[in-house]
A = this chain, B = another copy of it.
Amino acid sequence: MALSDVKAFAFDVFGTVADWRGSLIREGEALGREKGLSLDWAALADAWQAGKEPAIERIRSGGAPWSTLDAIHRARLDVVLAQAGVSGLGEEEKDHLNRAWHRLAPWPDSVPGLARLKRRGAVSAFSNGNFALLVNMARHAGLPWDCILSADLFQRYKPDPGLYLGAAELLGLPPEEVMVAAAHEGDLRAARANGLKTAYVARPLEFGPGRAQEPQETWDVMAESIEDLAGKMGA
Protein backbone atom coordinates (compact mmCIF):
# COMPACT_ATOMS: atom_id res chain seq x y z
CA MET A 1 0.00 0.00 0.00
CA ALA A 2 1.34 3.40 -0.95
CA LEU A 3 1.03 6.63 1.01
CA SER A 4 -1.55 7.72 -1.55
CA ASP A 5 -3.91 5.11 -0.03
CA VAL A 6 -3.93 6.84 3.37
CA LYS A 7 -7.48 8.01 4.08
CA ALA A 8 -7.26 9.17 7.70
CA PHE A 9 -4.69 10.79 9.99
CA ALA A 10 -4.63 9.98 13.71
CA PHE A 11 -2.63 12.54 15.68
CA ASP A 12 -0.91 12.19 18.97
CA VAL A 13 -1.88 15.39 20.79
CA PHE A 14 0.37 16.23 23.79
CA GLY A 15 3.61 17.50 22.34
CA THR A 16 2.73 16.73 18.72
CA VAL A 17 -0.21 19.10 18.26
CA ALA A 18 -0.23 21.05 21.54
CA ASP A 19 2.63 22.71 23.42
CA TRP A 20 1.81 21.28 26.86
CA ARG A 21 4.99 22.59 28.54
CA GLY A 22 4.79 26.19 27.37
CA SER A 23 1.07 26.29 28.11
CA LEU A 24 1.42 24.91 31.65
CA ILE A 25 4.22 27.37 32.39
CA ARG A 26 2.08 30.30 31.22
CA GLU A 27 -0.95 29.15 33.27
CA GLY A 28 1.25 28.58 36.30
CA GLU A 29 2.92 31.96 36.07
CA ALA A 30 -0.43 33.72 35.79
CA LEU A 31 -1.70 31.83 38.83
CA GLY A 32 1.55 32.59 40.66
CA ARG A 33 1.18 36.32 40.08
CA GLU A 34 -2.43 36.20 41.24
CA LYS A 35 -1.69 34.19 44.39
CA GLY A 36 1.76 35.64 45.14
CA LEU A 37 3.51 32.28 44.63
CA SER A 38 7.17 32.33 43.67
CA LEU A 39 7.78 29.02 41.93
CA ASP A 40 9.79 27.41 39.13
CA TRP A 41 6.78 26.62 36.95
CA ALA A 42 8.93 25.01 34.24
CA ALA A 43 10.24 22.50 36.78
CA LEU A 44 6.71 21.94 38.04
CA ALA A 45 5.42 21.33 34.47
CA ASP A 46 8.23 18.85 33.85
CA ALA A 47 7.58 17.01 37.12
CA TRP A 48 3.83 16.96 36.42
CA GLN A 49 4.35 15.47 32.97
CA ALA A 50 7.01 13.04 34.20
CA GLY A 51 4.55 11.44 36.62
CA LYS A 52 2.15 10.53 33.87
CA GLU A 53 3.93 7.56 32.28
CA PRO A 54 4.51 5.60 35.53
CA ALA A 55 0.81 6.03 36.44
CA ILE A 56 -0.27 4.87 32.98
CA GLU A 57 2.15 1.95 33.17
CA ARG A 58 0.62 0.82 36.48
CA ILE A 59 -2.81 0.74 34.79
CA ARG A 60 -1.45 -1.01 31.69
CA SER A 61 0.20 -3.70 33.81
CA GLY A 62 -2.95 -4.32 35.87
CA GLY A 63 -1.38 -2.85 39.01
CA ALA A 64 -4.04 -0.13 39.21
CA PRO A 65 -7.66 0.08 38.02
CA TRP A 66 -8.65 2.16 34.96
CA SER A 67 -8.66 5.88 35.47
CA THR A 68 -8.78 8.78 33.07
CA LEU A 69 -5.88 11.08 32.31
CA ASP A 70 -7.80 13.89 34.07
CA ALA A 71 -7.72 11.81 37.26
CA ILE A 72 -4.05 10.89 36.77
CA HIS A 73 -3.15 14.55 36.27
CA ARG A 74 -5.13 15.55 39.35
CA ALA A 75 -3.49 13.01 41.63
CA ARG A 76 -0.06 13.92 40.33
CA LEU A 77 -0.75 17.65 40.79
CA ASP A 78 -1.15 17.14 44.55
CA VAL A 79 2.25 15.45 44.63
CA VAL A 80 4.12 18.09 42.63
CA LEU A 81 2.53 20.99 44.51
CA ALA A 82 3.54 19.40 47.80
CA GLN A 83 7.08 18.79 46.50
CA ALA A 84 7.23 22.46 45.49
CA GLY A 85 6.06 23.49 48.94
CA VAL A 86 2.78 25.01 47.72
CA SER A 87 0.00 24.62 50.28
CA GLY A 88 -2.22 27.65 49.78
CA LEU A 89 -4.45 26.44 46.91
CA GLY A 90 -8.05 25.37 47.50
CA GLU A 91 -9.72 22.37 45.83
CA GLU A 92 -11.42 24.58 43.25
CA GLU A 93 -8.16 26.32 42.38
CA LYS A 94 -6.39 22.99 42.02
CA ASP A 95 -9.21 21.63 39.83
CA HIS A 96 -8.98 24.72 37.67
CA LEU A 97 -5.20 24.36 37.38
CA ASN A 98 -5.65 20.68 36.51
CA ARG A 99 -7.85 21.71 33.63
CA ALA A 100 -4.95 23.72 32.20
CA TRP A 101 -4.48 20.47 30.23
CA HIS A 102 -7.85 21.24 28.56
CA ARG A 103 -6.57 24.68 27.58
CA LEU A 104 -3.24 23.85 25.94
CA ALA A 105 -2.12 26.06 23.06
CA PRO A 106 -1.40 24.50 19.67
CA TRP A 107 2.00 24.85 17.99
CA PRO A 108 1.79 27.64 15.38
CA ASP A 109 1.60 25.17 12.45
CA SER A 110 -0.99 22.84 14.03
CA VAL A 111 -4.26 24.55 13.08
CA PRO A 112 -3.26 25.53 9.51
CA GLY A 113 -1.61 22.13 8.96
CA LEU A 114 -4.66 20.17 10.15
CA ALA A 115 -6.95 22.37 8.06
CA ARG A 116 -4.91 21.49 4.96
CA LEU A 117 -4.67 17.76 5.76
CA LYS A 118 -8.42 17.63 6.38
CA ARG A 119 -8.98 18.18 2.67
CA ARG A 120 -6.88 15.07 2.02
CA GLY A 121 -8.51 12.77 4.59
CA ALA A 122 -10.17 12.59 7.99
CA VAL A 123 -8.10 14.12 10.81
CA SER A 124 -8.58 12.73 14.30
CA ALA A 125 -7.12 13.31 17.72
CA PHE A 126 -5.58 10.00 18.86
CA SER A 127 -4.43 10.39 22.40
CA ASN A 128 -4.08 8.97 25.87
CA GLY A 129 -6.07 12.03 26.93
CA ASN A 130 -9.70 11.48 27.83
CA PHE A 131 -12.54 12.40 25.49
CA ALA A 132 -13.73 15.49 27.40
CA LEU A 133 -10.19 16.85 27.75
CA LEU A 134 -9.65 16.51 24.00
CA VAL A 135 -13.03 18.01 23.07
CA ASN A 136 -12.44 20.98 25.37
CA MET A 137 -8.91 21.49 24.06
CA ALA A 138 -10.11 21.41 20.46
CA ARG A 139 -12.77 24.01 21.20
CA HIS A 140 -10.27 26.18 23.06
CA ALA A 141 -7.46 25.90 20.52
CA GLY A 142 -9.59 25.78 17.34
CA LEU A 143 -8.31 22.34 16.30
CA PRO A 144 -10.43 21.27 13.32
CA TRP A 145 -10.74 17.55 14.18
CA ASP A 146 -13.23 15.42 12.28
CA CYS A 147 -13.46 13.18 15.34
CA ILE A 148 -11.89 12.34 18.69
CA LEU A 149 -10.28 8.97 19.42
CA SER A 150 -9.31 8.87 23.08
CA ALA A 151 -8.00 6.27 25.51
CA ASP A 152 -11.25 6.20 27.49
CA LEU A 153 -13.17 4.97 24.42
CA PHE A 154 -11.09 1.79 24.69
CA GLN A 155 -10.27 1.82 28.42
CA ARG A 156 -6.69 1.19 27.38
CA TYR A 157 -3.61 3.32 27.01
CA LYS A 158 -1.11 3.59 24.18
CA PRO A 159 0.90 1.66 23.17
CA ASP A 160 -1.73 -1.09 23.67
CA PRO A 161 -2.46 -2.59 20.21
CA GLY A 162 -6.18 -2.33 20.97
CA LEU A 163 -6.02 1.43 20.49
CA TYR A 164 -4.34 1.31 17.08
CA LEU A 165 -6.51 -1.48 15.68
CA GLY A 166 -9.60 -0.08 17.39
CA ALA A 167 -9.02 3.35 15.87
CA ALA A 168 -8.79 1.86 12.37
CA GLU A 169 -11.91 -0.22 12.96
CA LEU A 170 -13.94 2.78 14.17
CA LEU A 171 -12.76 4.75 11.14
CA GLY A 172 -13.97 1.88 8.95
CA LEU A 173 -10.53 1.49 7.35
CA PRO A 174 -7.89 -1.23 7.13
CA PRO A 175 -4.90 -0.31 9.36
CA GLU A 176 -2.66 0.48 6.36
CA GLU A 177 -5.02 3.28 5.30
CA VAL A 178 -4.61 5.09 8.64
CA MET A 179 -1.51 7.18 9.37
CA VAL A 180 -0.47 7.87 12.96
CA ALA A 181 1.39 11.18 13.31
CA ALA A 182 3.47 11.72 16.42
CA ALA A 183 6.57 13.40 17.79
CA HIS A 184 7.31 10.25 19.83
CA GLU A 185 8.83 7.15 18.33
CA GLY A 186 7.27 4.76 20.87
CA ASP A 187 3.86 5.71 19.52
CA LEU A 188 5.03 5.24 15.93
CA ARG A 189 6.65 1.89 16.74
CA ALA A 190 3.30 0.60 18.03
CA ALA A 191 1.50 2.04 15.01
CA ARG A 192 3.91 0.31 12.60
CA ALA A 193 3.76 -2.98 14.52
CA ASN A 194 -0.02 -2.95 14.06
CA GLY A 195 0.10 -2.21 10.34
CA LEU A 196 -0.65 1.52 10.38
CA LYS A 197 1.31 4.12 8.45
CA THR A 198 3.60 6.47 10.39
CA ALA A 199 4.56 10.14 10.26
CA TYR A 200 7.23 11.56 12.53
CA VAL A 201 6.62 15.22 13.37
CA ALA A 202 9.71 16.94 14.83
CA ARG A 203 8.97 19.00 17.96
CA PRO A 204 12.42 20.10 19.13
CA LEU A 205 10.94 22.47 21.73
CA GLU A 206 8.51 20.01 23.37
CA PHE A 207 10.66 19.60 26.47
CA GLY A 208 12.06 23.13 26.41
CA PRO A 209 15.05 24.80 24.70
CA GLY A 210 18.17 22.66 24.30
CA ARG A 211 16.35 19.37 24.86
CA ALA A 212 15.69 18.31 21.26
CA GLN A 213 16.03 14.60 20.47
CA GLU A 214 16.93 13.30 17.03
CA PRO A 215 14.72 10.50 15.69
CA GLN A 216 16.34 7.06 15.90
CA GLU A 217 14.43 5.46 13.04
CA THR A 218 13.08 6.34 9.62
CA TRP A 219 9.31 6.58 9.38
CA ASP A 220 6.97 6.62 6.36
CA VAL A 221 6.99 10.41 6.44
CA MET A 222 9.58 12.55 8.24
CA ALA A 223 8.06 16.01 8.78
CA GLU A 224 9.31 19.24 10.33
CA SER A 225 5.77 20.36 11.22
CA ILE A 226 2.14 19.49 10.52
CA GLU A 227 2.16 21.93 7.61
CA ASP A 228 5.21 20.10 6.25
CA LEU A 229 3.33 16.79 6.68
CA ALA A 230 0.36 18.24 4.78
CA GLY A 231 2.66 19.27 1.95
CA LYS A 232 4.33 15.84 1.86
CA MET A 233 0.90 14.17 1.71
CA GLY A 234 -0.13 16.36 -1.21
CA ALA A 235 -2.59 18.47 0.76
Q: Is A181's CB within 8 Å of the partner chain B? A: no
Near B by CB (< 8 A), chain A positions 167-200 give: 170-173
* Partner among B118, B153, B170 whose Cβ is within 8 Å of the Cβ of A132: B170
Near B by CB (< 8 A), chain A positions 138-161 give: 138-139, 145-148, 152-153
Cα(A153)–Cα(B132), bound, Å: 15
The reply to whether B171 and A135 contact each other, CB–CB distance below 8 Å, is: yes
Cα(A135)–Cα(B147), bound, Å: 7
| Tally of this chain's copies | 2
Near B by CB (< 8 A), chain A positions 110-136 give: 118, 122, 130-133, 135-136
Q: Is A46's CB within 8 Å of the partner chain B? A: no
B contact residues around A78 at 8 Å (CB): none
Q: Is A228's CB within 8 Å of the partner chain B? A: no
Q: List 16 A-B contacts (CB under 8 A).
A: A122-B135, A122-B136, A122-B139, A131-B171, A132-B170, A132-B173, A133-B172, A135-B146, A135-B147, A135-B171, A136-B172, A139-B146, A145-B147, A147-B147, A147-B148, A152-B170
